[in-house]
Amino acid sequence: MTRIVLSTDETLTSTYHDVPLLDFLGCAPVDKLPSWVFRILDSQVPDNNGVLTMAPYGLRKIEAALLAQGFKREEVVVAHPRKIEQFIDEKTTIVALYEMDPMGLGPVSMMFTNGGKWTNYTSVKFKELVERINRVRERKGYKFKLVVGGPGSWQIDFKRKEREKLKIDHVVIGEAEHVVGEIFRDIESGNADETIHIKSWPKVEEIPTIVAPSYKGIVEVMRGCGRGCRFCEPNLRVARYIPLEKIEEEIRLNIKAGIDHAWLHSEDIFLYKVEDKKNFYPNAEAVVELFEMARRHTRNVNPTHGAVAGALANPGMIEKISRIVGANERHWIGIQVGLETASPALIGMYMANKMKPFSPEEWPWVVLNGTYVFNKNYWFPAYTTILGLPGETEEDEIMTAQLIITMEKELEEKLGNRAHFTVTPLAFIPMGLLKDKEFFNVEEMMTEGRFLHLYHAWRHLYREVVKGLPMVMRGNPFLLPFYPLARVGARLVVEHLRKWGIKHGFNPDKRLEPLEVKIDVDEHKWHSVPSLIEAY
């Protein structure tokens, strides 16, 4: 008897040949890329008679929560999306899908699909999966309910007509581990709302430990953030820190399953067990202890996200972590970092804690010097910025382009070939406390300042493809044939952007002066930091 069938679309069950950042392939437009690109770059997680051998972390949490709340092991299955039909029968009451970007409304997808005018790969695969599930339901006359949850479930609720067309019965929005058993029983009895908004958050003790391997060894170390950026849903949640012993238990589970990697997931790794809630000065001892524990189990330890301000506030912490995980010129640590904008005014308006323990006025200096700290210790930051923040000015956008130029110049002067970073502009999506604002429309809302921001970001990315991609390719033979293709592709994107900008009356050659900020991490007085462990 398979009472509950859990799954996800197959863009979330591909390892993408373990190529860094290729997980974002799902955001790419199917209208503009040949289908063979998706076929070649896809490499699906193996299954065991249709059961996923490793699954997205959020799906694993729901599986564990259901088992903890009275559902029997034989009643719950986490199915590979390509083999989901074999688990659905007359005893199935719920087929639930965990989704990140089912309608292509996420920031990366909206940027890559020209504001939604094209169709992203994830939405195609999601709709294909739903249609297959519905065909089983209709052909066999089954009565199960189709449920969608996960970080992207709000998109289903947003697109009501599409939801009705896809015959999705229920949408669950919010953190669900503490109430999922109750929600699923309500759905089974017919007492659940079509859209279920979960207003509360699970306490740390209500977040279950996963019972089966997670995708690529991802392990959550904290939930929420506490910095309170107004556009960011996770940052608005109460910060909760997962105890070290529970993190270790999940790492051990993954290692035992043959996943020799620990991705430490958080909204900001440098805020793990932070005690200074006013200035957000890192609890370096706790962060270092976290990495030491993970390193005891595997050499391959990486954080997912972190704030550049936290790194700059304590360079000694970064240096110590680098020694722990063995970072060097052949083994870099990747980290995703929200830069958002170079504008101190916008940072102060929407992200008043993002730069702490520094001030909004210091933000460009913080980004430049924080990147220096990262690079000096073999960390490769992948920055994201936002196009179309409400209330931004031309000066704000041009300042972001200027910061990119400044970082190129200053970092290469100081570090030479050891200088590495990327900047990926994303379209503004009305979320968090800015839900009443409008989506950024690439065609209708582009200005010269926004174009220069976008153009210089992609121009720098091309430089990194030429300079940094060979370093990333070490140890992954699959990538070697794609290096010439990546170089050509990145150059074509820059050329296309250039032509598009000129066509719309923008000047890609407009002279932009670097910002008046310098790398002075050695000499700075660190006046706003109470107790620096070690400055260079």
Per-residue pLDDT, averaged over 412-436, amounts to: 83
Average pLDDT over residues 209-234: 85
Q: Of the candidates 345, 354, 350, 349, which has an alpha carbon nearest to the alpha carbon of residue 431? A: 350
pLDDT at 255: 97
519: which 2 tokens? 């790398």
Statement: residue 525 has pLDDT above 50: no
- Is residue 490 scored above 80 in pLDDT? no
Report d(CA 502, CA 448) in Å as an integer.
Answer: 10
| More confident: 254 or 431 | 254
Kindly state the average pLDDT of the residues 217-238. 78
| Average pLDDT, integer, range 412-420 | 94
Residue with the two structure tokens 């916008």:
346
- Average pLDDT of 210-218? 97
What pTM value is reported for the model?
0.91
When mean pLDDT is compared over 13-22, 401-410, 481-490, 524-533, the highest value belongs to 401-410
* pLDDT(295) > 90: yes
| pLDDT at residue 47 tops 80 | yes
For 514-522, what is the mean pLDDT? 89
Q: What is the pLDDT of residue 410?
A: 97
H or E stretch including 218? strand 218-220
- How many distinct helices (H) and strands (E) make up the chain? 17, 16
Name which residue leads in pLDDT, 86 or 227. Answer: 86
- Lowest mean pLDDT, pick from 127-136, 152-161, 482-491, 492-501: 482-491
Q: Which residues contact 440 (CB under 8 A, 6 or more apart)?
A: 110, 115, 387, 388, 427, 428, 429
As given in the structure block, the two tokens for residue 282 are 């890192």
**Spatial contact of 317 and 283, defined as CB atoms under 8 Å apart:** no
Could you give the CA distance from residue 314 to residue 328 in angstroms, rounded to a whole number? 19
pLDDT tens digits, one per residue of 75-99: 999 999 999 999 999 999 999 999 9
Residue 527, pLDDT above cutoff 60: no
- d(CA 141, CA 278) in angstroms, rounded, equals 58
Please calculate the CA angle 195-198-203 and round it to the nearest 5 degrees.
160
- Any idea what DSSP says for residue 515? P
CATH fold of the domain at 213-503: pyruvate-formate lyase- activating enzyme (3.80.30)
Q: According to the model, what pLDDT value does residue 483 have? A: 56
pLDDT at residue 414, as a whole number: 95
Measured between alpha carbons, how far is 176 from 187 in angstroms, rounded to an integer? Answer: 14
- Provide the pLDDT confidence category of residue 390 given band limits of 50, 70 and 90: confident
Above 60 in pLDDT, residue 235?
Answer: no
Percent of the chain beyond pLDDT 90? 73
Return d(Cα 358, Cα 348) in angstroms, integer: 11
Higher pLDDT, 415 or 485: 415
CA–CA distances in Å: residue 398 to residues 153, 295, 345, 464, 513: 34, 42, 13, 21, 10
The sign one gets for the Cα dihedral 76, 11, 153, 119 is negative
pLDDT at 530: 42
Q: Which residues does 290 contact at the CB level (< 8 Å), separation at least 6?
A: 221, 244, 247, 264, 269, 272
Q: 534: pLDDT confidence band, cut at 50, 70 and 90?
A: very low
In Å, what is the CA distance from 220 to each residue of 165, 265, 302, 385, 522? 35, 5, 12, 24, 34
* Helix 57-68 with 180-189: angle, nearest 10 deg: 80
Give the pLDDT score at 466.
Answer: 79
CATH 3.80.30.20 intervals, the chain: 213-503
Stronger pLDDT, 348 or 229, i.e. the higher one = 348
